[in-house]
Amino acid sequence: MKYSKATDYALHTMLFLTAATPQKPIGVQQLAERQSVSPTYLSKILTKLVKAGMIESITGVNGGYRLKRNWEDISFLDIIHAIEGSASLFDCSFDHGPGCPIQKVVLSAEEKMEELLRNQKMSDLVREHNIVI
């Protein structure tokens, strides 16, 4: 029961991009170095974020990744779901109806967690903590 390394990398990258907010795209090379991870692997992760519509990529010389217009609304949960998927923590193979007490408890606990992650926007975090690159 852990978040994957990929989620770790995605969160850090988004934090960096949000704190930087340049018009100029930032290359995966540079992003990978900061996190001591291989560029090829990080690029696979960032492609997921692109497909989720959070960032955009520009190929070619001076290309890289850049936030999209709605960047101020991106939450932790958005990023986590983009990488981990949005399946439930608890998947029993059976379905004993909506009355199942075990599922009800675990899923409502999960919802509590997601609620906080959904309300925490990356942009607010940067503003509150005055993060400078």
* Residues within the interface to DNA (CB under 7 A): 4-6, 25, 27-29, 37-41, 43-44, 46-47, 50, 57-65
Question: Does the protein bind ligand SF4 through residue 95 (CB under 6 A)?
Answer: yes
67 binds, among DNA, ligand SF4, its own copies, none (CB under 5 to 8 A by kind): none
Q: Is residue 115 packed enough to be buried (19+ CB in 10 Å), middle (13-18) or exposed (0-12)?
A: exposed
116 binds, among DNA, its own copies, ligand SF4, none (CB under 5 to 8 A by kind): its own copies
Name the residue nearer to its own copies (CB basis): 50 or 125.
125
Nearest CA-CA partner of 20 in 59, 52, 64: 64
Kind and range of the H or E run holding 16: helix 5-20
Name the residue nearer to ligand SF4 (CB basis): 102 or 113.
102
Residues 6+ positions from 56 with CB-CB distance below 8 Å: 50, 65, 66, 67, 68
95 binds, among ligand SF4, DNA, its own copies, none (CB under 5 to 8 A by kind): ligand SF4
Residue type, 83: I
Least Cβ distance, residue 35 to DNA (angstroms): 9
User: Three-state DSSP class for 56?
Assistant: strand
Distance CA 67, CA 50 (A): 9
Least Cβ distance, residue 61 to DNA (angstroms): 4
Interface contacts to ligand SF4, rule CB under 6 A = 12, 92, 94-96, 100, 102-103
